[in-house]
A and B are shown apart, each in its own frame.
Chain A
Amino acid sequence: MSEPATPWTRADPTLARGVPDETPRRERAAAGTPLYVHLPFCAAKCHYCDFFSVPAEGHDRAAMIAAILREAELFAPRAPRTVFFGGGTPSLLSIAELTMLLDGLDRITGFRGAALEVTAECNPESLDRDKARAFLDLGVRRLSIGFQSLHDDVLKLFGRVHGVDDSFRAFEAARAAGVQELNVDLIYAVPGQTAEAWSTDLTRVLRLGSEHLSAYNLTFEEDTVFRRWLEQGRLAKSPEDVELDLFELTRELTRAHGLEAYEISNFARAGHACEHNLNYWRNGEYLGIGPSAVSKQGTRRLGNVKAIGAYARRIQETGNALHWEEDPPASTRLAESWWLGLRLAEGVSAREAAERARFEGDDSAARKLAGELEEQGLLERQEDRLRLSARGLPLGDWVAKRFLDTLS
């Protein structure tokens, strides 16, 4: 692509004023709290991606690992229930670097013996059999592989550095190494994509027999190359009816292959849903470490600085790299608990939503709205639990806005 890539760092939209004495503070996470580790290195920035990452070359990766371990020493929970290595591209680290990171983290948290689920995100160009074996040896039992597309021209449009063959090779390598929990990431509703083309691609991936699949409708996030291209008219969003067709097709095909649609964009065989992510949708607490990582403690969300230099320096100097925090009002928290909980097939009950939000007042407005939405056919009820209906699923944000609107 002739276009310069997205800036590797960008302003934090949730940014709080960074005056030292206003720096947010966090407690050490309670034992068992889910742990997220952000590894900010990528081979190249994908054009649709708005996560924080920097080029792998030219940065002191060892120093970053040391900083992350230092932050873990200060804040990471003992015996986290789940651990998730995201980024960035964790698989891009060398086996030596991974060993340093994971041995260190196990020494601090004891995750290898305690965690139910330990996941690392991988990209095809940096996942081979040795790397997969190393992950297993180091305590990572679940790998998530970013296929994204089954077309080399689309991968190129996405700004990715691997080909379609690399994706399949990486998958087979992971299996051959003995990885028993595998996820594949795909993106659909790419400009020009037809239902037929998506059906062919998705079926091909489903035949691989992964335990888990994430399929995302392409989103033109703010501050990405894709967003700029969209605004310049170089890319077009798929028409709404096409997006809706693809969304429904995805649910049908995954079901036919034995995967349950347990969230808007996530599909798994029975017992293989991602526990770490389920906790987000259940609005649970978690601890994030690494640059840009977000934590939820009590009713607050806190985010680390989105810059690797500042992150490493602040961790070294003060042990605190937090850059923003928010403590939304109870009504907003309640709306959030509904919004997130409704994304799940398991749904959410009014009582759970209030508990998760630590909402102690009168929640009859939320219950009344849920009732109205149920009458409209957007929600469906199983005993005391509500979830988005087949009609409501593709309108999840519309429903979320109703909750935010009504409650705050």
Chain B
Amino acid sequence: MDTQFIRNFCIIAHIDHGKSTLADRLIELTGTVQKREMRAQMLDSMDLERERGITIKASAVTIWHTYKGQKYELNLIDTPGHVDFNYEVQKALQACEGALLLVDASQGVEAQTVANAYLAVEAGLEVLPVVNKVDLPHARPDAACEEIENSIGIDASDALRVSAKSGIGVMELLDRLVERIPPPKGDPNAPLRCLIFDAVYNEFRGIIVYMRVVEGTLKEREITHMLGTDKVYEAVEIGRFTPEMKRTGSLSPGEVGYFISNIKNLGDVRIGDTMTIHKGPKVEMLPGYRPPMHMVYADFYPTNTGDFESLREALETLSLSDSSFSFEAVTSEALGFGFRCGFLGLLHMEIVQERLEREHDIDMIQTAPTVTYRIRLENGEEREIHSPGQLPTSDKYAQILEPYARVNILTPTEFIGNVMTIASDHRGTYVRQEHLSPTRVQLVYDIPLAELIYDFFDKLKSSTRGYGTLNYEISGFKESDLVKLRILVNTKEVDALTCIVHKDQAEFRGRSAIKKMRKEIPRHLFEIALQAAIDGRIIARETISALRKDVTAKCYGGDVTRKRKLLEKQKEGKRRMRQIGNVDIPQKAFLAVLGGDDEEGDKK
């Protein structure tokens, strides 16, 4: 197809603002998928995505739209809305010339939307503002447009007003897309250059590469060369997403599709790489992606020490479709061999953990997430600390620094006071505030990243009745008065439970951590002492009493099956446990140093 009849676009939206619904409607109204084959959230193919109602990975679909008698190929690249998946958004933006900025007419602009819209503007995309859910009774499209102009700085005077759910304005939106979004540039006869923007692993077909042809034409049977990894593969099957994969045999400039070559070696494909023709003319590599910045680290240990290699394989497979987390082997005194993994944020960490368990059936123990600290030694040398256990005693370094985040919080004005309170509770420093509209305000704070991880997001949600949203970026490192909080189980220090906390909060955190552990660790046949220590000083102690009675009173012929199943159910919980010394510690206890559902939180 001639590139002038192709449009590549993505949709930028906050969770619940109707992105998946709009995608569904575009697919349906253009007849891409027969109505009887429609299901909600066509593009969210992972179970996890449908369940959580979020998009995690970028994916793609080709739809056809006729405008003024001409048939256009519209490639929709779906993007995730959550800040943790900015990296995925970046990938999607690289493959597009335009973006729909979708804003809920009653909710207004949210912090994450602002961040993603900035990314699109920076990438030089044509951004079309679209106000959704205009048919709802609380819709205030004018205010939403005002917020778009004030927060992102693009003209929203002619923003389209649609209802993705009922289809109002959607046909007009398709026309507008064709009019306003520029066609991809690219010479079909130039030497081939394709951008690899995603990949998934299929058991039967090997790695399926998601790509966009930038220049030249890619045909089946051609021998290709991936420049970054220096790997050569034959194009066995080429096709498009409709959204199911549909073989087309070739892809021309601007087109988005897939490439299959029974690639089994996970390391051969790298997201952001450039693909060209083997032994063809020399080409420049396309600009790849900014490498993701890992700000949250956690360790994964297999529940059964023997599963270390399967965990490694699972991480390798997963890293193929999610190139934004890192992992390296580590050893813990308490937990043995495992992996320290770096993530973009907390949600990202949860998703990786769930995908490992669901898609790879791995049982594992995950330690509480921690941020990267830096220490400055007396001789001026700086070192990064990815795991609290690595922190030497305080006499071994001159300064300890922690990462700070510049946090943008968007909230209805009535909650300003609440937000200020939780920000200062979390050691935040006020930067500024801006009124986006009479009812919405943007507050900017500098907050230690560790505080964001601890429970800031939960607290923000609860203190703004769910209306507050935030986005952050790392602003730098600052010196802090931090100490190492150690946890001892029957007087044995458990390195996997050590954390670094602010001195003023250390006692409270220590107490609350062992209280939570007391609830999570099952009783044993002996007494278990839990202690929290700062430096050499024990600051709190809890005791789990010994189990003394546990026996079924009545057990006859008719009972055996059921009683056995009850016993089996009780031991089921044992799967995700690790033994430290002679104490079985369940997964949840390893997260006890995190905030969240402590007693203080329960009262709310």
B interface residues, Cβ below 8 angstroms from A: 525, 547-558, 560-562, 564-565, 567-568, 570-571, 574
Q: Contacting A216 at CB < 8 Å: which of B550, B554, B567? A: B554
> On chain A, which size bracket covers the interface?
35 or more
Name 9 extra pairs, CB < 8 A, besides A241-B548, A288-B557: A247-B549, A264-B555, A280-B555, A296-B557, A340-B555, A376-B525, A396-B550, A397-B551, A398-B525
Chain B nearest CB from A68 CB (Å) reads 15
Q: Report yes or no: A395 in contact with B558, Cβ–Cβ below 8 A.
A: no
Residues on the A chain within 8 Å of B554, using CB: 216, 219, 265
Contact (A405, B574) CB under 8 Å given A277-B556, A326-B561, A395-B525: yes
Contact (A280, B560) CB under 8 Å given A241-B548, A397-B551: yes
Which of B549, B561, B568, B570 has most chain A Cβ within 10 Å? B549
Q: Report yes or no: A393 in contact with B560, Cβ–Cβ below 8 A.
A: no
Q: Report yes or no: A14 in contact with B561, Cβ–Cβ below 8 A.
A: yes
Cα distance A332–B564 when bound, in Å?
A: 9
A interface residues, Cβ below 8 angstroms from B: 13-14, 36, 38, 51, 216-219, 240-241, 243-244, 247, 264-265, 277, 279-281, 286, 288, 292-294, 296, 301, 303, 326, 328, 332, 336, 339-340, 343, 376, 378, 393-398, 400-401, 404-405, 408
Chain A nearest CB from B230 CB (Å) reads 49
B interface: dominant SS: loop
Contact (A405, B571) CB under 8 Å given A395-B550, A396-B552: yes
Q: Report yes or no: A343 in contact with B555, Cβ–Cβ below 8 A.
A: yes
- 6 closest A-B pairs by beta carbon, nearest first, are A396-B551, A216-B553, A394-B549, A217-B553, A294-B558, A280-B557
Q: Could you show 29 A-B contacts with beta carbons less than 8 Å apart? A: A14-B561, A14-B565, A218-B553, A219-B553, A240-B548, A243-B549, A244-B549, A264-B551, A264-B552, A264-B555, A265-B553, A265-B554, A277-B556, A280-B560, A292-B558, A294-B561, A301-B560, A339-B564, A339-B567, A340-B555, A395-B525, A395-B548, A395-B549, A396-B550, A396-B552, A397-B550, A398-B525, A401-B567, A401-B570
Q: Report yes or no: A404 in contact with B557, Cβ–Cβ below 8 A.
A: no
Q: Report yes or no: B553 in contact with A394, Cβ–Cβ below 8 A.
A: no
Residues on the A chain within 8 Å of B567, using CB: 339, 397, 400-401, 404
Cα distance A112–B550 when bound, in Å?
A: 40
Q: Contacting B549 at CB < 8 Å: which of A240, A336, A400? A: A240
Residues on the A chain within 8 Å of B547, using CB: 395, 398
Cα distance A332–B568 when bound, in Å?
A: 10
Contact (A13, B562) CB under 8 Å given A265-B554, A280-B557, A397-B552: yes
Q: Report yes or no: B568 in contact with A336, Cβ–Cβ below 8 A.
A: no
Cα distance A296–B557 when bound, in Å?
A: 8
Q: Report yes or no: B561 in contact with A393, Cβ–Cβ below 8 A.
A: no
Q: Report yes or no: A14 in contact with B562, Cβ–Cβ below 8 A.
A: yes
Residues on the B chain within 8 Å of A408, using CB: 568
Cα distance A339–B571 when bound, in Å?
A: 15
Residues on the B chain within 8 Å of A14, using CB: 561-562, 565
Contact (A336, B564) CB under 8 Å given A277-B556, A288-B557, A405-B574: yes
Chain B nearest CB from A166 CB (Å) reads 23
Q: Contacting A264 at CB < 8 Å: which of B525, B553, B560? A: B553
Q: Report yes or no: A404 in contact with B551, Cβ–Cβ below 8 A.
A: no
Q: Contacting B571 at CB < 8 Å: which of A326, A343, A401? A: A401
Cα distance A340–B554 when bound, in Å?
A: 11
- Nearest A residue to B548 via CB reads A244
Q: Report yes or no: B550 in contact with A394, Cβ–Cβ below 8 A.
A: yes
Q: Report yes or no: B548 in contact with A288, Cβ–Cβ below 8 A.
A: no
Chain A nearest CB from B253 CB (Å) reads 56
Q: Report yes or no: B557 in contact with A294, Cβ–Cβ below 8 A.
A: yes
- Nearest B residue to A52 via CB reads B558
- Nearest B residue to A325 via CB reads B561
Residues on the A chain within 8 Å of B561, using CB: 14, 294, 301, 303, 326
Cα distance A281–B560 when bound, in Å?
A: 9
Q: Contacting B551 at CB < 8 Å: which of A218, A288, A293, A394? A: A394
- Nearest B residue to A187 via CB reads B553
Residues on the B chain within 8 Å of A280, using CB: 555-557, 560
Residues on the A chain within 8 Å of B568, using CB: 404, 408
Residues on the B chain within 8 Å of A328, using CB: 564
- Nearest B residue to A378 via CB reads B525
Q: Report yes or no: B551 in contact with A393, Cβ–Cβ below 8 A.
A: yes
